[in-house]
Structure 1
Amino acid sequence: MPIRTEPDALMLADPDATEAFGRALAAASGNGGLVIYLHGDLGAGKTSLARAFLSALGAGERIKSPTYSLIEPYTLADGRAAWHLDLYRIADPGELEWLGLDALADPGAVILVEWPQRGAGALPAADLHLRFEHADAARRLRLQPASARGERVVSDLTY
């Protein structure tokens, strides 16, 4: 289970704790649109959290990593659209034009973006920043709301 170490930070001891937090985040996310930026080094747990989050929202059993496709679309159990982007391979935000990011403008969509700094200016604004940091064998996760919606999600988190 995640352990709160600071008002805005959790310690995730292992992949199971990362997945548990992803499910808790999904439960707190409500039924509206939400944009989450996932920051952190390679292997920090961004994709694991995204998979657990999307699975908990009913995106299906097979949630693929968008490492090579850059973007994976899903339909959630309640009918909302969800998008998982991994922009690691993007060198310039201008490269995103061919991805059809117009669909991300849906205010009811759930959007998770790994490596969001590589899409600066081409992405919808974040509601919540999740910052992963290596902490020996564990991970520290910092929660930074960037909108009223993000603040509500963080305040509704239970784990």
Structure 2
Amino acid sequence: MDPSHALDLTLADEASTLALGRTLAGVVAAAATRAALLLRGGLGSGKTTLVRGLVLALPGGEEAEVASPSFNIVNIYPTRPAVRHVDLYRIPGGDACVEEHLEAGAERDDLVIVEWAEYLPALAVPPDRLEIAWLPAETGRRCRLTAAGPRGRAALAALAGRVTGRQL
């Protein structure tokens, strides 16, 4: 992995995970750095907490009720840009509905966030993306962000410039 396309962070606690979400919101709200976010990590790793911090930091986020879309599959939040929050936990391998939401999000330039992205079919993986994987940690949380595509790399570079000491 090219080190310019990866960033490792240590998140001390839930507040740090929310802070990373807020920081990401400041990056991916701009069209030039709007990359899909593909989240990977076990139950309770912090995926939905990250999304909550991000959504609440966007214009219109105060109107959103951020929750894991495990049973709904997709939540669309009234933010600017609109956020399509997809959860593939209950449908490994995805389905046509999920792919339609991914396509609609791309057409409208919405921000697409996919939890349990390891279940996303290869043909449905957005070309411009930030992948965030939660890693084992003795304390707190660790995550690795990797980028693909021009907007994904631009988003990662912008994020790297905003986080200090790789610990939030």
Settle same-fold status: TM greater than 0.5.
yes
Percentage of pairs with the same residue: 34
TM-score by length of structure 2 reads 0.79
Alpha-carbon contact 2:29-2:58 (below 8 Å) kept: no
- Match of 2:136, SS? strand
Alpha-carbon contact 2:48-2:67 (below 8 Å) kept: no
Q: Once the 2 structures are TM-superposed, how far is the Cα of residue 137 of structure 1 from its aligned partner?
A: 2.9
Paired amino acid for 1:25: L
Partner of 1:29: 28
Partner of 2:153: 151
- Match of 2:132, SS? strand
Query: Once superposed, what is the RMSD of the aligned Cα atoms?
Result: 1.9
Alpha-carbon contact 1:19-1:52 (below 8 Å) kept: yes
Q: 1-side partners of 2:152 and 2:97: how far apart?
A: 29
User: After TM superposition, where is structure 1 displaced by more than 4 Å over at least 4 residues in a row?
Assistant: none
- Correspondence 1:1-159 to 2 at 5 A: 8-32=7-31, 33-61=34-62, 62-77=65-80, 80-93=81-94, 96-99=95-98, 100-101=100-101, 102-106=103-107, 108-120=109-121, 121-157=123-159, 158-159=162-163
Q: Once the 2 structures are TM-superposed, how far is the Cα of residue 63 of structure 1 from its aligned partner?
A: 1.6
- Match of 1:135, SS? coil
Paired amino acid for 1:111: V
TM-score by length of structure 1 reads 0.83
Q: Which has the larger share of helix?
A: 2
Q: Which runs of 5+ in 1 are unaligned?
A: 1-6
Q: Once the 2 structures are TM-superposed, how far is the Cα of residue 124 of structure 1 from its aligned partner?
A: 3.0
Alpha-carbon contact 1:34-1:109 (below 8 Å) kept: no
